[in-house]
Chains A and B, each alone.
Chain A
Amino acid sequence: MSRVLIIADHDGSQLGSGTSRCVTAAVKLGAAEVHVAVLAAARGGIAAQAAELAGVSKVLVVERAENAHQLAAVLAPQVVKLAAGYEYVIAAANTFGKDLLPRVAALLGVGQVSDLMFVESAYRFRRPTYAGNAIVTIESPPDVKLVATIRTASFAAAGSGGSAPIEAASTDAVLPTHTRFVSINAAKTDRPELQSASRVVSGGRALASSENFHLIYTLAARLGAAVGASRAAVDAGYVPSDMQVGQTGKIIAPELYMAIGISGAIQHLTGIKDARTIVAINKDAEAPIFEVADVGLVGDLFKIVPELTALLGKGST
């Protein structure tokens, strides 16, 4: 029976949403034991949150001052030490896991499966290529440690109610000092996190200005939704880049996705095609977004969005 080590994503105090998706993937891999490694300066609430995830059998905590910032060059040698005895080492395919795991794989002398989206069997998986336009099935030999990033949109979040033991772990890994954290410029917001929100409202270039994005924020607030944007809107400077949804931004799978004034470039569609219900509002009836939308409405967003916001306010949402 196999053992899976999940490297937890976190912000220094809270567990990230990717870890829970990794637990679900680990269970599908047929893991007998699912361990979550938390590498942080101090465990804060992170370890306890990981221990509560249903399916986790143990939480390993490595507390070192050097782990205050999630630097791949600093974390990778520690993960390599922790990885001994595990058949699988996985992390979420968010910017944390994408940065860290290939470095871990190379230090282990093995390859990596990126964006693992479906487990066919213990060593047979599917992953997207060509921006999701070609899905490949690949096999890895059972005698090689499998390092993989997990496409979070493809796996449900694990339930809660677990009570895994939390153990302090230490590694004697020598850590480099050639990489130093300087600063993080994080957008502070009361809105739900884009990556894990069950509802997302996104705006595109048709919003035409940063100011007009208030229409999107207002509608999102009414729905309790996170706010996203197309690459065109980000490139035009209407919103910051961390709001970009798509192949080169965030890949999301909310219950409800509303694309407003977004034409639907292929790289945007790649980021949303696992959403359960896609609503498109666009003045161009020929826009490609309507090819993937479950419900489409052709018209002027500057009239439609305020009306929609008002109407949704009449019932409870």
Chain B
Amino acid sequence: MKILVGIKRVVDYNVRVRVKPDGSGVALDGVKMSINPFDEIALEEALRIRERNQASEVIAVAIGPEDVQTQLRSALAMGADRAILVKCDQPLEPQGVARALLAVITREQVGLAILGKQAIDDDAGQTGQMLAAMWGRPQVTFASKLELQGDTAQVTREVDSGLETLSIDLPAVITTDLRLNEPRYIKLPDIMKAKKKPLVLTDLAALGVTVVPQFRVVKTEPPVPRARGIMVKDVPELVAELRKRGVVS
């Protein structure tokens, strides 16, 4: 069975993002870019499945400009067998990404797709569910535990009320939550080895996918800052302050 892992290039999670003063977006020049952290978790899970001999191949797939090859090389260094970059210079909405991924899944006869539950740039959290819908296959979002059993999988997901376990038929789409696993570190020899692994470039036209964005981004603004607070010196002062503000009586 082949596993597809979605890889998105995003601003590194340690970077404090700045909104451009003209409101045209977030400043990206010279900013460190990385694999979306939830996608790293997706890749780690795929690798573990392959290492248990429950999958034959792990394919890392990204959609975006040529620069994204850097992140795909990282994915190969982590252990993916090969990578596909679907070149696209325009920003894509999740719907377009899902269609491109589905085209790859169909060509490659993928048995399991593992994606991050959301990307930490647009925070949309839609691609996995949309892909599953278009594919007509099961989805398990926010997965924290995944066990494959032949043609089915038992997956535990983090929901607001606790932990829910579902049983699904494969093929399927899984989206990862933080506690699914802890991704491995890349070692230097792996970086060297990754240079020899196949990374194929294609584009939306070659996949037969056309995308038309639905939404127009009018402007991007920083959030309204909270008013500066006060410091109190001890507990009686704290309680007095809370009573004064009417939040406790």
Contacts and interface: CB of A to CB of B under 8 A. Distances in A.
B126 A114 contact: yes
Contacts, number: 247
B138 interface: yes
A8 B130 CA distance: 20
B214 A141 contact: yes
Contacts of B161: 11, 184, 186-187, 242
Q: How large is the interface on B (under 10, 10 to 19, 20 to 34, 35 or more residues)?
A: 35 or more
A308 B239 contact: yes
Given A102-B133, A296-B229, A137 B238 contact: no
Interface in A95-132: 95-96, 98-107, 110-115, 124, 128-132
A48 interface: no
B221 A144 contact: no
B26 A106 contact: no
A179 B168 contact: yes
A195 interface: yes
A178 B169 contact: yes
A182 interface: yes
Interface stretch (B44-52, B73-81, B186-194, B241-249): B241-249
Interface stretch (B91-99, B104-112, B199-207): B91-99
A138 B138 CA distance: 30
A227 interface: no
Interface of B: 11, 16-17, 19, 25-26, 93-95, 98, 120-134, 136-142, 144, 154, 157-169, 172, 177-179, 213-223, 226-227, 229-239, 241-243, 245, 247-249
Interface of A: 11, 71-73, 76, 94-96, 98-107, 110-115, 124, 128-141, 144, 176, 178-187, 195, 223, 231, 235, 240-242, 247-248, 250, 255-256, 266, 273, 276-279, 290, 292-299, 304, 307-308, 311-312, 315-317
Given A106-B95, A114-B124, A134-B26, 17 more contacts: A73-B139, A76-B133, A94-B160, A96-B160, A103-B130, A134-B25, A134-B222, A136-B221, A139-B215, A179-B167, A181-B167, A182-B165, A183-B164, A184-B161, A290-B231, A299-B234, A316-B249
